[in-house]
A and B are shown apart, each in its own frame.
Chain A
């Protein structure tokens, strides 16, 4: 009976174990090995030695440093901004009465759309071509500002579009989570505070924020992780040759090392991926430490 049960359990798990083993556990070990195999040749699958050269190469590669800088700027701008805007919109949503569901549905729309496809629309809106300044530039002109090519122009303009689009893409999820967190705060707390004559700002900082802090914190952690892994929205705006555009991200660098015109270097790709993993892990641990002090868990 017992051994039969044992067998049955493993049998039900077999498909998952095979897939996870081949496509997750094995690659995890393999990526570590790749990252220390020096001079790995993809065609002959041979390597010349073992060491940390791959890491050193990646860390000295100007393309990687550019990608690192881009990614950090993107993270630093979009994570606080998107969380803040999402909070603002969620607060407004919870006051919108019978229009709440309508707005909520509209706001969620970007979540279900193809990042690449809508990115193309953003590109067209921001792009300056031979025929037209593009809609956004015309808008800027009417406000008395000069037109800029946001797609192939100066760095700050490109970074602006990227941040804008990233926020547009990540906001639906954040709004959804925060709206339901806000809605689940017991109305009695607000009534008590009102009877006590608590000012709106104090209600917000002393009651609302602590009550939704677990959700807020969850969003900040996933926001950091997500933003560090930015890639497809960058491709959507600037095309696949991100190094040339100067807009590459760490993940983009990993893929470029693996495949494409500059590809064929799984060792460098592995080293870069592990560096990314180390950064994300560090940030997450810092987040967790900060949250211990500031997040209220029921």
Chain B
């Protein structure tokens, strides 16, 4: 099922200050294609969860419409939309067994949709098998590990075969090792069922690794949407550039003069734009150490981290962090004297942003 958001806006009364409003979702206008896994990404408090709640119907939009395929569902109650939702803390009913938790939504059906006991049992078992918890059916939630609870919650959300599956921070309550495993599980389950899935996360690595598409948000506004790699390679603004990637992108104060970009006195690259002050953002992997390189930094140290080598250096014009972090091939020869090092830069890893509106130039 594809999801279309049309000028979707949600404004709250501020919880902290009287008579002040917070725009949690600001004029969202985009289409989520059918059968994809979408990562909704942004720092905490940017309106991701609100977006999710609007789609599933727990909250009403201030303005705008939501369509599932061609049906306007904006005024429909959650239960009439055919969505499944997994909450951040899973919200498994603690007093019910896994089996009862999974069958719970099916038992809600009435009238012509009412299912027989056997049918409920069969469907619950099928979905339990899909998420690989069929041997845990008689346990209570508190007897399960975090990852297992997560899968029960997904099974419960999927048991009614919804058109849309929504996951709110699905991995945030798991430890690092389980997180890797579980995100693969989510990927697999999504592929097997083909259900359009939206998951919310503040962890860019998580979003990049399993999503078909990512949607980057900031303060209620849509920043960029696209295939993870293209969003990473072609950020439309400074925020997206900074938010994606570890180590984070390095940002410098620079300027354009005669269609050439400079940081300090160092020429960086050509750019066919008017003279102005700009931000120059360079990915860590965009640095190539070279004896007579054009970009000069103060050398600090070399850190070897497994297969990567990281050169840490400093530059007066760097504004993102005190340290400039670079990642280079470990077989490259690194020239440096006591306090200086020079680099060539990969142009496709170097992005120029306007100082005025932080948009890409």
Contacts and interface: CB of A to CB of B under 8 A. Distances in A.
A198 interface: yes
A195 B78 contact: yes
B94 A298 contact: yes
B15 interface: no
Given A193-B104, A198-B108, A206-B104, 8 more contacts: A188-B89, A189-B93, A191-B58, A196-B79, A196-B156, A197-B78, A198-B79, A211-B95
Identify the 6 closest CB pairs spanning chains A and B, nearest first: A197-B79, A188-B91, A196-B105, A296-B95, A210-B95, A195-B78
13 contacts: A186-B91, A189-B93, A192-B91, A195-B57, A195-B58, A195-B157, A196-B105, A196-B108, A197-B105, A199-B108, A206-B93, A210-B95, A296-B94
Interface in B80-114: 80, 83-85, 87-89, 91, 93-96, 104-105, 107-110
B89 A186 contact: yes
A192 B89 contact: no
Contact of A194 (B79, B94, B110, B160): B79
Nearest to B101: A192
A207 interface: yes
A202 interface: yes
Interface residues of B, number: 28
- Which bracket fits the contact residues of A? 10 to 19
Nearest to B89: A188
Contacts of B156: 192, 196
Nearest to B80: A197
Contacts of B110: 199
A191 B91 contact: yes
Contacts of A202: 107-108
A194 B105 CA distance: 10
A233 B78 CA distance: 50
Max chain B C-beta neighbours (<10 A), residue from A194, A197, A198, A202:
A197
B58 A194 contact: yes
Nearest to B85: A195
Nearest to A213: B95
B263 interface: no
Nearest to A190: B91
B273 to A, nearest CB: 49
B87 to A, nearest CB: 5
B318 interface: no
A196 B94 contact: no
A211 B84 CA distance: 23
Nearest to A188: B91
A104 to B, nearest CB: 21
Interface string B222-246: 0000000000000000000000000
A197 B108 contact: yes
Contacts of A186: 89, 91
A216 B80 CA distance: 33
Contact of B104 (A196, A296, A298): A196
Max chain A C-beta neighbours (<10 A), residue from B84, B94, B109, B156:
B94
A194 B91 contact: no
Contacts of B96: 206
A202 B95 CA distance: 15
A195 B95 contact: no
A192 B95 contact: no
A198 B104 contact: yes
Contacts of A196: 79, 104-105, 108, 156, 160
Contacts of A211: 95
A38 B96 CA distance: 57
Nearest to B58: A191
Nearest to B86: A192
A211 B58 CA distance: 22
Contact of A195 (B84, B88, B93): B84
A296 B100 CA distance: 15
A195 B83 contact: yes
Interface in B318-345: none
Contacts of A188: 87-89, 91
A250 to B, nearest CB: 37
Interface string B61-91: 0000000000000000111100111011101
A195 to B, nearest CB: 5
Contacts of B56: 195
Contacts of B78: 194-195, 197
Contacts of B94: 296, 298
A195 B153 CA distance: 13
Contacts of A193: 104
A191 to B, nearest CB: 6
Nearest to A202: B108
A207 B78 CA distance: 18
Contacts of B57: 195
